[in-house]
Structure 1
Amino acid sequence: MKVLTENQCEKFAEVGYLIIDFKFAKLLLDEIVTHVSYLYRKQPCSEFGAPRRVQDAWKSVNAVREVAVSSAVLSALKQLFGREPLPFQTLNFPVGTRQRSHSDTIHFNSIPRGFMAGVWVALEDIDRANGPLQYYPGSHKLPEYSMQDFNLKTGYSNYHKYEECIDRLIRDNGLVAEFGLLKRGEAIIWHPNLLHGGAEQLDPRRTRHSQVTHYFFSDCEYVTPMEGSREQPAYREPLWIPKTSEELRSLSTTSVTKKVRQLVRRIF
């Protein structure tokens, strides 16, 4: 099933992102906000005084999983990348992140390169005041930069230096930011090398409920570039988000069995 027009596919190739309405049920979006809210309470607060995010809420909130494995989303991604999309991570946010600009290729990549995507869904209306997504159209056409390209040692301890290098790259290339001003239910798909981050939250009293799902694609190997190099990749084994309830039950059974075996080993 094709959900994107030829013009939409061409725009994605040109600017590195696409805003689209997948027609998510409003009740489904409300369910995510309601049921993820208790998970936020378990998270440490950020420097802005609010929980920053919850990772992989799909494990306990089925509505999160349903958005991540939406058939319309998967079909759109297959059109854009030509391979089967494989969701492997969700992140849910109650407020804007103010995250500095980066390319996802420093966190996730594939061999062959470039088979990764992010899909960000607005769970409420997003405007300039509540901290929208910020991105740089066309920046996906820049080279993929690793820690080594910036003469940095691998590892998260140098990530702030990587961010400084990206800021300089943006200035040197004269890139101009745009903002994801989305209505509730709309989504933005971005290319793995698109530079993006979180814009300033002008009204700190506002929420900015949203969900992003990260996807790899079939027939690849998967790596964490920040932890490795092109010569010695840091391979990863993603936990794929189950696309059906049957797969979810099977995964849950496997997890319980594994925990029981670990407990038995400790006892005996």
Structure 2
Amino acid sequence: MNLNKLPEIPWYMDLGAKARNLYRDCPLDIKNEISFFLDHGYVVLKNSLPPERIESARNAFYRHKKKYANIYARHADVNGLQRRIVNLHMALYEFQDIFSLNTRALKIQDYLFQSPSTCFTSLTFESGSEQSIHRDSPYFTTTPEYYYLGVWVALERVDHLNGALEIYDGGHLVHEVDRFEIFERYYKYGDQIDQMDPRLWADYQQATIESCIAKGLEKKIVPMEPGDTLIWHPHLPHGGSAISSQGRSRLSIVNHVVPSGVPVSGLNVFYRNSNPPDSVNYGYMNHADRNFLIHKNVEFQHADPQPANEFRN
């Protein structure tokens, strides 16, 4: 991908996006989904993957969990469930299928990007995250900005009891908060910053939530069935709802997707303390005609790396 060919701002970030030519010219078979996405900041594709594909992925996960029980046990919660496994798709081909063979979801991603969608990273959740509502941008800053989508596939039923996605419906239309004012609370331009500084994350997310509340937006739970796919806008405030049915699993996969060749950075670029990269040297692999960024390791909650080539079923 020649980054110079990407518009500086994706067309779906335009608050008047439904008046743009790209919406008017949208293929009829995905126009309803694109319309919902532009209005609400997300869209759910019902039964986007067949039951046999979902069952295959689910079975692959539980075989893998049994085979490497000693490793999984180190990171299990009190109910024996996993909250966050990073890039497990690098060890499970069935998880790669969930992205590469999700034809309808890919068509929507490609149209939004105006470029083929690529899997940058993945997260696997056997249990709900219960993560507070947030925007992903500080830790997922693309160059150009906002060339990113979240793609969540349910492998089991997800509802208000086991930690469904929680969103501010329409929150993607709330303008960006003053991130630079937040940065200057703690740093001066040019300072070396802690890439995991919790203050920068917390203040940004709090300001975003306050903006949503000021607009009169309400939080909403999004239930899903196995085989459903949810695609969310890069500016959608989202999180994991509280789990009231403790011990009940909620197996799902989130793919973080970008156009091929798009650099992804963190807090330093998001707060403009460092210049954004103008190129990348990422390595890619291809599975079923879709590119995946190559990751050498699978991690549990961003720790305990396991070499992907040795960590297979």
Deviation at 1:106, TM superposition (A): 1.4
Q: Which residue in the other structure is 1:101 paired with?
A: 133
Letter of the aligned partner of 1:81 in structure 2?
F
Structure 2's unaligned 5+ residue stretches are 1-25, 188-192, 296-306, 308-313
AA of the residue aligned to 2:92: V
Match of 1:65 in 2: 96
The reply to whether residue 155 of structure 1 matches residue 194 of structure 2 is: yes
Does 2:250 align with 1:208? yes
* Structure 2 equivalent of residue 256 of structure 1: none
After TM superposition, the structure 1 stretch with the greater mean CA deviation from structure 2, 120-129 or 152-161, is: 152-161
State the distance in 1 between where 2:47 and 2:83 align: 26
Deviation at 1:221, TM superposition (A): 3.7
**Change in 2 beyond 3 A, CA 1:139/1:245:** closer
Match of 2:286, SS state, is coil
Cα distance, 1:34 vs structure 2? 2.5
Select which of 51, 69, 90 maps to 2:82: 51
Letter aligned with residue 32 of structure 1: A
User: Deviation digits for residues 163-199 of structure 1, max 9, x if unmatched?
Assistant: 3542353234313111120111111100111111111
**Stretch moving more, 149-158 or 133-142:** 149-158
Judge conservation of contact 1:223–1:233 (CA < 8 Å) in 2.
no
Q: Which runs of 5+ in 1 are unaligned?
A: 253-258, 260-268
- Report deviation, 1:30: 2.0
Residues 64-96 of structure 1 deviation map (CA, whole Å, 9 limit, x = unaligned): 001112233221111223222111111111000
| Aligned partner of residue 90 in structure 1, secondary structure | strand
1:14 paired with 2:39, answer: yes
Structure 1 stretch displaced more, 223-232 or 175-184? 223-232
1:244 maps onto 2:288 in alignment: yes
Q: How does 1:33-48 map to 2 (within 5 A)?
A: 33-37=58-62, 38-39=64-65, 41=69, 42-43=71-72, 44-45=74-75
Query: What letter is aligned with 1:61?
Result: L
CA shift, 1:145, in A, is: 5.1
Quick check: 1:173 aligned with 2:212? yes
TM-score (norm 1): 0.80
2:156 aligned partner: 124
Cα gap change, 1:12/1:247 in structure 2, threshold over 3 Å: closer, same or farther?
Answer: closer
- 2:144 maps to 112
**Which range moves more in the overlay, 144-153 or 133-142?**
144-153
State the AA in 1 paired with 2:136: D
Q: Which residue of 1 aligns with 2:22?
A: none
Aligned-pair Cα RMSD in Å: 3.1
Partner of 2:235: 193
What is the percentage of aligned positions where both structures have the same residue?
A: 21
76-85 vs 186-195, greater mean Cα deviation? 76-85
Q: Please state whether the residue corresponding to 1:86 is helix, strand or coil.
A: strand
Aligned length: 250
Q: Quick check: 2:118–2:290 contact (8 Å CA) kept in 1?
A: no
Give how far 1:12 is off.
Answer: 0.8
- Displacement of 1:32 in angstroms is 1.9
1:223 matches 2:264 = yes
Deviation at 1:107, TM superposition (A): 1.7
CA offset digits 1:131-162 (Å, max 9, x no partner):
10111112112334586442355435423652
Q: Is the 8 Å Cα contact of residues 100 and 290 (structure 2) preserved in structure 1?
A: no
